[in-house]
Structure 1
């Protein structure tokens, strides 16, 4: 059951597949020889390297009875060695074996030594290649959706546990990058993240831009005055350029005229057109979200330490239950009254903030201080919150993969976005099971 050499087109084999074949040794080992006709014995395949340098490190093998310790490099064609300029790179002088699908040219290390080559195209089972092609070239967004039921639940759950943690760690990296740009200020960083989350899906980018140009430090100086807080937020956001709206808008405009000179915010003031109002309910308008953000800032001068020290989900929810100013309880835009009173964020919106901001911040701080306690708290928080409801989660549920908690839904989002859409089936335990079995 070995692949019929040239019968398998090279375009159907990717380097990631060869990594899988080598890592799991899924090829015919009978009479293993290099392209120079030297007998090969594999003792240790090496450790998969995800950083720069050869693909597998610390391998051990023998060539013609002589033992070698070093690295293994993998390519589709031998000539890729030269295309990637490895022949000029001294880091690759310790490569003891070049594993390729197709040997099309002899290659050399930078020290002039010829590179031993193991060609695999006649050694990989056709059935394995067919399973790989069926999965990786599936046109669906979730490539394994037609085969998903074939995988054991324990393998699926194991992958989901990994995905939820990876999502937290990936978000942690982004937060720590932002922390560095903010010169180590956690308060500034968390303020920006909270503001972004208050924009939810439609206005997240605009909210983040606002928070980046209107610093938390400036807001903190006026935090004891609700009117000043709203004047700064709505003014920099570009909502106070209109005239004759109503008495409250005029009051904010007058106050912002003074504050903008004091803090020189006019140079980076946004425009109303940068905010999305289309196909949104009035309660979700960016004006309402800005009013909610203003109420939150007015209630909590410094909220990073509150996130760290509020350990119960009830306490964390209460952080975001700040009541709106009287004007915004009965308006959804300047000069436009609401049909029903609105006092602040609803419970569902607060849970979204806890999932997308508080949990990642705890995970990032865990990585920052090297204390797993905060990561455990992030994971525990996700386990206590209900699963999100959206198109992606619904698609997984239709495949029989239900999400009961936010930990589950976050895992499924990560799996879809970072693995399924990127066709990284060979890095997924579910995909590996389908290809290997």
Structure 2
């Protein structure tokens, strides 16, 4: 869909993962609604970047009391007409999430990432340092957001920096997959090896899937292990393909042995 434009592919997936679980589709739709060359033209203005992202998310509609959202609203109305932009039809949601994950905050952080970096995917290809890429991701939002979670309600000061957990999530679910896919597409073993090496350096994910496997005796020490367990669940467990899976066979044998041991009659 992107005519092999890897920076654009990376941008779509990056935005999707900034939206996390509840807003992933909405954030990807926002990213797809703004041509990457438009973002590049306005990367030096954090206000215009925020206006583009928040406006395409339909978050700049209505009346505002504060001057800052009024400024963004004016910027967006101008840019929308200039580039004939059509806002996303998928609404963002605020319910059932912590304020630090509100779409306003995540879009503001995404805007700052664009503002502070150029050709991020090219940097990922060129560097061997996972720490360098992580440092690029841990961006703060613009100053306005340190005192707000939404436009019309001020809050006490809290710096809205993208945290280590979110940065790790983006590395695992955006950086590594696109880097590996790029290596496969171009037959670059160095890219594939770097992606696997970075997974081994990242901390393990802990969720209901990985925790279930750990209880069954499997190892989950790094993100490489976590991704393998999640893929195992999706490709085998969900389809009940236990007999086609070496891990499934092992667990079935263990369960059978435990059953036989518990079924033996107790000698008098």
TM (normalized to structure 2)? 0.90
Structure 1 runs not aligned, ≥5 long: 1-180
* 2:12 maps to 1:189: no
| Shift of residue 198, structure 1, vs aligned partner | 0.5
Is residue 414 from structure 1 mapped to residue 231 from structure 2 by the alignment? Answer: yes
Residue 300 of structure 1 and its aligned partner are, at CA, apart by 1.4
Aligned to 2:216: 399
Task: Say if 2:119 is the partner of 1:302.
Answer: yes
Q: Which residue of 2 aligns with 1:430?
A: 247
Q: 1:188 touches 1:217 (CA, 8 Å); kept in 2?
A: no
**1:217 aligned to which of 29, 33, 37:** 37
Match of 1:370? 187
Distance (whole Å) between structure 2 residues aligned to residue 374 and residue 336 of structure 1:
45
Once the two structures are superposed, what CA deviation does each residue of 1:348-389 show, in whole Å capped at 9, x if it has no partner? 110010000111111111101101111111111011011011
**Cα deviation, residue 270, structure 1:** 2.7
Q: Does residue 270 of the first structure (1) align with residue 88 of the second (2)?
A: yes
Q: Is 1:260 the counterpart of 2:80 in the alignment?
A: yes
Mark the structure with the bigger radius of gyration: 1
Q: Which has the higher helix share?
A: 2
TM-score using structure 1 length: 0.56
Which aligned pairs between 1:286-301 and structure 2 lie closer than 5 A?
Answer: 286-301=103-118
Q: Secondary structure at the match of 1:431?
A: helix
3-state DSSP of counterpart to 2:107: helix
Give the distance between the partners of 1:244 and 1:430, measured in 2 at CA: 57
Q: Where does residue 175 of structure 2 map in the other structure?
A: 358
Given that residues 176 and 199 in structure 2 are in contact (C-alpha distance below 8 angstroms), is that contact kept between their aligned partners in structure 1? yes
Match of residue 266 from structure 2: none
Aligned length: 254
Query: Shift of residue 432 of structure 1?
Result: 4.3
Query: Which residue in the other structure is 2:258 paired with?
Result: none
Q: Quote the residue 1:58 is aligned against.
A: none
Aligned position for 2:261: none
Q: Which has the higher strand share?
A: 1
1:227 and 1:193 map into 2 onto residues whose CA distance is 23
Q: Is the partner of 1:274 in helix, strand or coil?
A: coil
SS at match of 1:332: strand
Counterpart for residue 239 of structure 1 = 59
Structure 2: tracts of 5 or more residues without a match: 255-268
Partner of 1:339: 156
Correspondence for 2:257 = none
Which of structure 1's runs of 4+ aligned residues deviate more than 3 A?
431-437
